[in-house]
Amino acid sequence: MTAATHGNTRDALNDAKRINAASQRAARVGLDPALWLVVPAAAFMLLLFIYPFLYGLALSFAPKEGDWLANYTHFFTTDNLWPTIATTLKLAIPATLINVGVALPIAFKMRTKTRYQRWLTTILVIPITLGTVLIAEGMLIYLGPKGWLSQFLQYFHLYDAPIRLTHNYWGVLLSLIVSGFPFAFLLILSYITGIDPVLARAASTLGADSRAQFRHIYLPLLAPGLAMCFCLSFVQAFSVFPSAVLLGSPAGPTRVISIAAYEAAFEVYDYSLASAIAMIMGFVQLIIVAGVLGLRGVFYRGPVTGGKG
Amino acid sequence: MTVARDLNVKRWFDLAWGGFLWGIMILFVVNVALMIAAVATSSFARRWLGTWLPEGWTTRWYTAAWKEFQLDSILFVTAEVVLAVVFLSLLIGVPAAYTLARRNFPGKRALLLLFLLPLMVPPMSYGIPLATVLYKVQLAGTIYGVILANLIPAAPFVILVMTPFIEQIDPNLESAARVFGAGTLRMFWYVLVPLLGPGILAASLLVLVRTIAMFELTFLTSGADSQTLVVALYYAVFAAGVRAPQSVDAMAMVYMGVTLAWLLIALKFVNPTQLVSRVKESPQPA
Q: How confident is the model at residue A17 (pLDDT cuts 50, 70, 90)?
A: low
- Report the share of chain B in percent with pLDDT over 70: 95
Q: Which among A204, A200, A201, A235 has a CA at the least distance from the CA of A219? A: A200
- Res. B283 pLDDT band, cuts 50 70 90: very low
* Separation of alpha carbons B240 and A87, rounded Å: 25
Find the radius of gyration of the CA atoms of chain A.
26
Residue among B35, B117, B281 with most chain A CBs within 10 A, to mutate: B35
Q: What amino acid occupies position A280?
A: I
Q: Please list every residue in chain A whose beta carbon sits closer than 8 Å to the beta carbon of residue B93.
A: 41
Average per-residue pLDDT for chain B: 87
Reported as a pLDDT band with limits 50, 70 and 90, residue B173 is confident
- Any idea where the domains of chain A sit in the sequence? 2-68, 71-296
Q: Using one digit for the tens of pLDDT, what is the confidence trace for A50-77?
A: 999 999 999 999 888 888 888 999 999 8
The C-alpha of B236 sits at a distance from chain A's nearest C-alpha, in angstroms, of: 10
Between A10-14, B25-29, B161-165, B212-216, the lowest mean confidence (pLDDT) is in: A10-14
CATH class of the structural domain A71-296: mainly alpha
- List, in sequence order, every residue forming a beta bridge with B57; answer none if it has no partner: B45
> How does residue B3 score in pLDDT terms, banded at 50, 70 and 90?
low
Asked if the C-beta of B207 comes within 8 angstroms of chain A's C-beta atoms, the answer is: no
Nearest residue to A280 (alpha-carbon basis) of A301, A303, A264: A264
pLDDT at B74: 92
Q: Is A55 close to B132, i.e. CB distance below 8 A?
A: yes
pTM of the predicted structure, to 2 decimals = 0.85
Contacts (Cβ under 8 Å, ≥6 apart) of B285: A196, A198, A308, A309
Closest CA to A256 of A173, A142, A174: A173
Which residues, numbered 172 to 201 in chain B, qualify as contacts with chain A under a Cβ-Cβ cut-off of 8 Å? 183-184, 188
pLDDT for residue A307: 43
Q: Is the CB of A246 less than 8 angstroms away from the CB of B237?
A: yes
| pLDDT for the residue numbered B277 | 67
* Residue A217 identity (one-letter amino acid): I
Calpha distance B132→A262 (Å, rounded): 12
User: What confidence score (pLDDT) does residue B73 get?
Assistant: 92
What are the pLDDT digits (tens) for A282-307? 899 889 888 888 887 666 555 555 44
* Residue ranges of domains in chain B: 1-42, 60-275
Q: Is A200 helix (H, G, I), strand (E, B) or coil?
A: helix
Kindly determine whether residue A56 and residue B267, on different chains, have CB atoms separated by under 8 Å.
no
Name every chain B residue with its beta carbon within 8 A of the beta carbon of A109: 18, 21
Please report the pLDDT score of residue B285 as a whole number: 35
Q: Rounded CA gap, A230 and A232, in Å?
A: 6
pLDDT at A4: 46
pLDDT value, residue A308: 42
Determine the Cα angle at A293 with ends A288 and A299, to 5°: 140
Residues 6+ apart with CB under 8 A from B137: none
Q: Under 8 Å CB-to-CB from A35, ≥6 apart: which residues?
A: B99, B103, B105
Nearest by CB to B103, which of A35, A123, A231?
Answer: A35
> Phi and psi dihedrals of B57, rounded to 5?
-115, 150
Neighbours of B159 (CB within 10 A): 31
Confidence category of residue A259, pLDDT binned at 50, 70, 90: very high
- Interval A135-164: pLDDT, tens: 988 998 898 888 888 888 888 887 777 778
The ipTM value here is 0.86
State the sign of the Cα–Cα–Cα–Cα dihedral A89, A93, A99, A100: positive
In contact, B239 and B69? CB cutoff 8 Å: no
* Encoded amino acid at B202, one letter: A
The C-alpha of B272 sits at a distance from chain A's nearest C-alpha, in angstroms, of 6
> What average pLDDT does this structure show over B100-115?
88
Q: How far is B152 from chain A (nearest CA, A)?
A: 7
How far is residue B160's CA from residue B14's CA, in Å, rounded to a whole number?
Answer: 39
**B:54-83 residues touching chain A, CB 8 A cutoff:** none
**Per-residue pLDDT at A1 exceeds 50:** no
**Alpha-carbon Rg for chain B in angstroms:** 24
Contacts across the A-B interface (CB distance below 8 Å): 265
- Which CATH number is B60-275 given? 1.10.3720.10
- pLDDT digits over B238-279, tens only? 887 777 888 888 999 999 999 999 998 988 888 777 777 654
pLDDT at residue B175 tops 90: no
| C-alpha to C-alpha distance for A251 and B246, rounded to whole angstroms | 26
Which of B35, B99, B233 lies nearest to residue A37, judging by beta carbons? B99
